[in-house]
Structure 1
Amino acid sequence: MTFTPPAPFTTRPTLRGTFGMSASTHWTATATAQAVLERGGNAFDAAVAGAFVLHVVEPHLNGPGGDLVALVRPAGASVPVVLMGQGPAPAGATLAHLRSRGLDLVPGAGGLAAAVPGAVDAWLLLLRDHGTWDLGDVLAFASGYARDGHPLVAGAATTIARVADLFRDHWPTSAERWMPTGRPPAPDTLVTNPAWADVLDALVIAGAALPDRAERIDAAREHWMTKVLPEAASFIARPHRHADGADHPGVLSAEDVASWRAGWEPAVTARFRGWDVFKAGTWTQGPALLHTLRLLDDVDDAELDPATVEGAHLVIEAQKLAFADRDAWFGDAGGAVEVEALLADDYVATRRALIGDEASTQWRPGSPDGRDPVRPPLRTAHGVNDGSTGEPTVDRSGQTRGDTCHIDVIDRWGNVVSATPSGGWLQSSPTVPSLGFCLGTRLQATWLVPGHPASLTPGRRPRTTLTPTLMSRADEVVALGSPGGDQQDQWQLTVLLRMLVGGYSPQQAIDAPNLHTTALVDSFWPRTWAPAGVAVEDRLGAAVIAGLEQRGHRVHRSGDWSLGRVTAVGRSADGTLWAAANPRGAQGYAAGR
């Protein structure tokens, strides 16, 4: 017995066709990707072109100084590979140095939190190894929008307004970049970024004289890492205001960026309801979704409906256990758990037995390989019921934070990519005026304590929340992902359950009312957690919400359309392609035919 949608409600249709499909968090990036497909490019050409447009049109959600994780499956391949665009901590980012600055956490805004930017190099690597187009053709879309202008989305305008005082008082280059009139721009204001357009043009010029396409792209990568990023590192080395209220210099150096490149890694996988689900490794939060699916795999289909009290409770409690293990065991080597141990039958059964009828209120990591977990500092979010929706642009205390983008593309040949770029938000750190962008703040996801798998360590990647998903079953494939920080996999989980177990169409699953637990350690400064906390969309219904409260969950109602920003593309068993996109915020769109 399966659970089924109570009504065939969708905000828009699931798009279906045979030519190619694109979906992203911004309509212009989706249109760009689809335009590339229409002109003969493959899914990878399209994703790269769309991603560089996302840097321009969603500057409050990602930027060139940020990072990237993607799952890439070329036509004919049986499994995807991971495109790794997460740079490591600089050599100068040591526990001793940050402690000497009076810090017990890495600040959530300011150059001291900057890892080596990885997104641009990763996109160029994808284009070189799996694309077909020349670099100039791919970057022309983003360069055009940066030079000629684009209407500023409402979210970006709101973000700028919220950090206007910070820009005026402490980050004058950001004020000049985003408030040239002295006031925050209104939504739909036509904005340009000629400095960034010049950088994009310089990337093309760097290899223009070389005869080979791959050599031209490699020349652009070299120019980016050895010319552009050192200029950003030099700028951010000047003391400037950080989220802790003090002024610090950044520590990223030219040597840090010159010695690093994006790369390819194997994906990790688990099986659920006949599907092979693929994620990146424990330097991301991806295996937490695999762990959650394993915890739920023996539950009857009818009990997995997130729109019921029982289904919602099971989903929440399983995620608490999976994320407790994430917070204790995930990181870039140095004591991180092996995925095989995390997903082993005996360990999963031991963890599953901890799920009871009442909401748990304790942080309960396990010992998947027999070691005792390292406990990070647990700071309770006092005085709030924690309705956080991921990486809010400005959090509940007024501190600057950022968010994330996502893009999925599948083409008629069978190439597919699911990518989540993030970081380098316009509110991350002061704008480098000659470049038109700022550096990211991913190091805030590290701990300033020794011995934890996610401790700040020079040369190691900070554990990232970026977590795209790719699934396959015989000839079927699904690529999906979401912004939302710690909620990315939680929002994807409800969509997957509704599609794979409940029989929902992709768009119906994305549109359905969502929820997530906040009983996890926030990956973003100031790193709080809310025991027993749950955020729900009001559309989940009064009866379900009351039932969760009766079981001890501390429920925060977040509005009717506030949680979940999943986009997805895929291929059905008959070869039909499809796409669906999040309607929340009126910004994400799918396109295809």
Structure 2
Amino acid sequence: MSYTAPDPFTTRPDLAGTFGMTASTHWLATAAAQAVLERGGNAFDAAVAGAFVLHIVEPHLNGPGGDMTGVFATAENPCRPIVLVGQGPAPSAATTEHYLAEGLELVPGSGALAAAIPGAVDAWLLLLRDHGTWELGPVLAFAIDYARNGHPVLAGVCATISSVADLFAEHWPSSADRWMPQGRAPVPGELIVNQAWARTLDRILAASEDGAGMVAASEQGATSASAATAPTREHRIDAARIAWSEGFVAREIIEFIREPHRHSSGTDHAGVIGADDLAGFRAGYEPATTVTFRGHTIAKTGAWGQGPALLQALMILDGFDDDHLDPSTALGAHTILETIKLVLADREAYYGDADVPLDRLLSADYAEERRALITERASHEVRPGTLPGHEPASPPLRTEYTPPNAMAGHVAAGVGEPTVARTGTTRGDTCHIDVVDRAGNMVSATPSGGWLQSSPTIPALGFCLGSRLQMTWLEPGSPSTLTPGRRPRTTLTPTLVLIDGEPVCALGSPGGDQQDQWQLLYLLRTIVGGYSPQQAIDAPAMHTNSFASSFWPRVWAPGESVVEDRLGADVIAELEARGHRIVVAGGWSLGRLSSVSRDPATGILSAAANPRGAQGYAAGR
């Protein structure tokens, strides 16, 4: 028996049109992307323009020195979902031996030792080169304008800067200069600028023009730029990529991180990224990993990301009757939370940039085995499955953690991905953008890392490095053990949905370990429950913390789940009676979902965005 939305009310309309739709976590990014569509750009041009604006307007949630993951389909080949890999690997000198010799038990949550090779900028430029239509200059014009001339700063940015003000003042002076130029955090609505990043983008654009001839000559085997045929748009974008990875940007990064600085461990360390690391990385593409659920193909990253955990959850839940799949009931919430615990146990045991047996993990037989473990009582254990020929990794489980070298000096400041706390209070978490155009191009992308509190600002560039390596372990034997050249197991996990080989929905959410948990609720409510996209986004959310967190200090909370109070007192009481340790959050505090959709039969496009935090926005016509 299926279920339907109990209340048709939504905070916002489900937008509908036929021209183009954008949804993101900030209205200015949505507006910039939509402006590109209006001026003749396609969905990929628009997404890249919006993404560079997100670097400016949500600097506490992402930055140019971070990473991103996307999944998209093109109008020319709609049945082939593709993953855009903007997740850089660990540097060649990022060995467990080095980190242990530095007196560390965990990869820090902030500071340059937590930085993977920056991947976001190269990935966006790759997408623009291969699937966009615009030149780089017009695409970057929106971000350059906001960086140079300013934008009204969000309250969340101000709160984040205030929370790390002492760290900046005492240990990260370049960040204090960048974010507190008047000796204080900005106030909400104050116009803030980033002149250094504006100059960096200007230099990248100049390099794209100056270096395009050499790129063309190299591609054509010519002896000089003058001997090559005229450079193309693609050559200009590749020249910009070289300026990033081998030119002035790379040089400034390497020079700056040589100096030791404060990390989340409470101790000082230098970074280990080298010139060869930056020059050797290029973003790329991979086929998406997919399963079919109730006639819908769900496309995610491979197991170097957490995306297949959502697919495992759908395989398990597909064996239940529909009344077990309603997140708004105690039966449904319990079944979903218990499923999530099982798949996240598998994530920790088996996922990583390694040989992961996804054929087995996503099989119907394995899903049936895991489904049988779900009873009427909440589990407080970590229960990975058994896979022939694979020993499950068992990293340490800690309910609390204090670094062995902790000292006065902001051990907790700026750590981790600033995701949703136990109380449900959103301190920030990442960004997201979805775009669809009238031709049927569709993209979902989740940029993150390199937020202003992740490591000291590089003064000449106007941004800092990310902290994705905190998702690796220093213990041996795990697919997620810190290994030079391997990607950390990222939590960035956008989603594409297809029906009969046609993309029909792109969605995602910030939120670290919670990203796939909240997206699962959306999929169940829209596919099974018949909710509209905006109804699904607005509906009460929940997630479990009963697993080892991906973020420093990597603790867990056995049996704990966080629910919005709008789930209802009766449902919450029954969950507690089943053994769940419930933390009740505010009614509008969990998740920052957005989505765009397309009906292949009619060409009608739609979009929806999250009202929580009064920041996300959808637009289109």
Contact 1:106 1:113 in 2 (8 A): yes
Q: TM-score, normalising length from structure 2?
A: 0.92
Residue matched to 2:243: 223
Q: Deviations over 1:229-268 (max 9, x none)?
A: 3311220121000001001111111111011110011110
Superposition pairs of residues 283-432 of structure 1, within 5 angstroms:
283-333=304-354, 336-381=355-400, 391-392=417-418, 403-432=429-458
Counterpart AA for 1:343: L
Equivalent residue number for residue 606 of structure 2: 578
What's the offset of the Cα at 1:370? 4.2
CA contact (8 A) 1:63 1:425 kept: yes
Q: Verify: 1:252 aligned to 2:273, yes or no.
A: yes
* Residue 88 (structure 1) shift: 0.6
Matched, 1:488 2:493: no
Taking the TM superposition and a 5 Å limit, the aligned residue runs for 1:67-466 are 67-77=67-77, 78-209=79-210, 210=212, 211-227=231-247, 228-333=249-354, 336-381=355-400, 391-392=417-418, 403-466=429-492
Q: Which runs of 5+ in 2 are unaligned?
A: 213-230, 403-415
Measured against aligned partners, the alpha-carbon deviations of 1:399-426 in whole angstroms (never above 9, x if no partner) come to: x996210000000001000000000000
Residues 395 and 348 of structure 1, relative CA distance in 2, 3 Å threshold: closer
2:558, 2:374 → 1: CA distance?
15
| Number of the residue aligned with 1:37 | 37
Structure 2 Cα separation of the partners of residues 396 and 481 of structure 1: 21
Q: What is the SS of the residue equivalent to 2:498?
A: strand
Q: Which amino acid aligns with 1:418?
A: S
- With over 3 angstroms needed to count, the CA separation of the structure-2 counterparts of 1:323 and 1:283, relative to structure 1, is same
Cα drift, residue 395 of structure 1:
6.0
1:311: how far off? 0.1
**Separation in 2, partners of 1:537, 1:185:** 31
Instruction: Check the 8 A contact 2:160/2:427 in 1, yes or no.
Output: no
| Mapping of residues 12-27 of structure 1, within 5 Å | 12-27=12-27
Q: Which amino acid aligns with 2:619?
A: A
* CA deviation map 1:277-299 (0-9, x unaligned): 00000000000000000000011
Q: Given that residues 268 and 281 in structure 1 are in contact (C-alpha distance below 8 angstroms), is that contact kept between their aligned partners in structure 2?
A: yes
Cα distance in 2, alignment partners of residues 554 and 522 from structure 1: 17
Render the CA deviation track for 1:178-235: whole Å, top value 9, x for unaligned: 0001011111110000110111111111122543100000000000001203311220
Residues 234 and 253 of structure 1 are in contact (CA less than 8 Å); yes or no, is this contact kept in structure 2? no
The answer on whether the counterparts of 2:419 and 2:512 sit within 8 Å (CA) in structure 1 is no
Contact kept, 8 Å, 1:237 with 1:252, in 2: the verdict is no
Distance 1:222 1:284 in 2: 26
User: How far apart, in 2, do the equivalents of 1:340 and 1:528 lie?
Assistant: 30
Q: 1:387 — aligned with what?
A: none
State whether residues 20 and 592 of structure 1, in contact with CA within 8 Å, keep that contact through their aligned partners in structure 2: yes
Q: Which amino acid aligns with 2:608?
A: A
Secondary structure of 1:103's counterpart equals coil
User: Alpha carbon RMSD of aligned pairs, Å?
Assistant: 1.6
CA distance in 2 between partners of 1:84 and 1:401 (Å): 26
Shift of the alpha carbon at 1:92?
1.0
Distance 1:401 1:372, change over 3 A: farther
- Once residues 34 and 369 of structure 1 are traced to their aligned partners in structure 2, the CA distance between those partners, rounded to angstroms, is 49
Task: For residue 207 of structure 1, give the secondary structure of its aligned residue in structure 2.
Answer: helix
Q: Provide the C-alpha distance between the structure 1 equivalents of 2:455 and 2:420, rounded to a whole number of angstroms.
A: 14
1:329-372 residue CA offsets vs partner (Å, 9 max, x unmatched): 00001xx4221110112211111110110000110001234422
**In structure 2, what residue type is equivalent to 1:420?**
T
Distance 1:509 1:531, change over 3 A: same
Maintained 8 Å contact 1:109/1:401: no
Partner letter of residue 247 of structure 1?
Answer: D
| 1:539 alignment counterpart | 566
Provide, for residues 483-529 of structure 1, a one-character-per-residue CA deviation record: whole Å limited to 9, x for no partner: 00000000001011110000000000000000001111100000011
Could you tell me how far apart the structure 2 residues matched to 1:369 and 1:337 are?
12
- In the TM superposition, 1:2-21 aligns within 5 A as 2-21=2-21
Q: Deviations over 1:76-115 (max 9, x none)?
A: 3212111000001011110000000110100101011111
Q: Is 1:55 matched up with 2:74?
A: no
> In the aligned structure 2, how far is the partner of 1:369 from the partner of 1:220?
47
- Distance in 1, matches of 2:385 and 2:97, equals 30
| Change beyond 3 A, Cα 1:382–1:449 | closer
- Whole-angstrom distance in 2 between the partners of 1:44 and 1:63: 19
TM-score by length of 1: 0.96
Deviation at 1:128, TM superposition (A): 0.2
Which amino acid is 1:481 matched to?
A: G
Which of the numbers 539, 543, 548 marks the counterpart of 1:521?
548
Q: Partner of 1:507 in structure 2?
A: 534
| Alpha carbons 1:391, 1:401 under 8 Å: kept | no
**Contact 1:160/1:178 (CA < 8 Å) preserved in 2?**
yes
Distance 1:411 1:221 in 2: 26
> 1 CA distance for matches of 2:365 and 2:440?
37
1 CA distance for matches of 2:503 and 2:533?
A: 13
- Greater shift, 313-322 or 473-482, is seen at 473-482
Mapped contact 2:496–2:503 kept (Cα < 8 A):
no
| Counterpart code for 2:233 | R
Q: Look up the equivalent residue of 2:448 and give its one-letter code.
A: S
Cα shift at 1:476: 5.4
Aligned length: 583
Distance 1:395 1:294 in 2: 29
> Kindly, what percent of the aligned residue pairs are identical?
65
Distance 2:422 2:163 in 1: 12
Greater mean deviation of Cα atoms: 71-80 or 131-140: 71-80
| Counterparts of 1:456 and 1:248, CA distance in 2 | 17
Amino acid at match of 2:137: G
Structure 1 CA distance for aligned equivalents of residues 93 and 528 of structure 2: 49
Kindly provide the amino acid, as one letter, of the partner of residue 184 in structure 1.
A
**3-state SS of the aligned residue for 1:529?**
coil
Cα displacement string for residues 299-323 of structure 1 (whole angstroms, at most 9, x for unaligned residues):
1112211000000000000000000
Letter in 2 for 1:9: F
In 2: Cα distance, 1:57 partner to 1:281 partner: 30
**CA–CA separation in structure 1 for the residues paired with 2:168 and 2:512:** 24
Output the CA distance in 2 between the equivalents of 1:382 and 1:6. 42
Instruction: Mark the CA change 1:297 to 1:478 in structure 2 (over 3 Å): closer, same or farther.
Output: same
SS in 2 for 1:379: coil
Aligned match of 2:220: none
Cα distance between partner residues in 1 of 2:512 and 2:388: 27
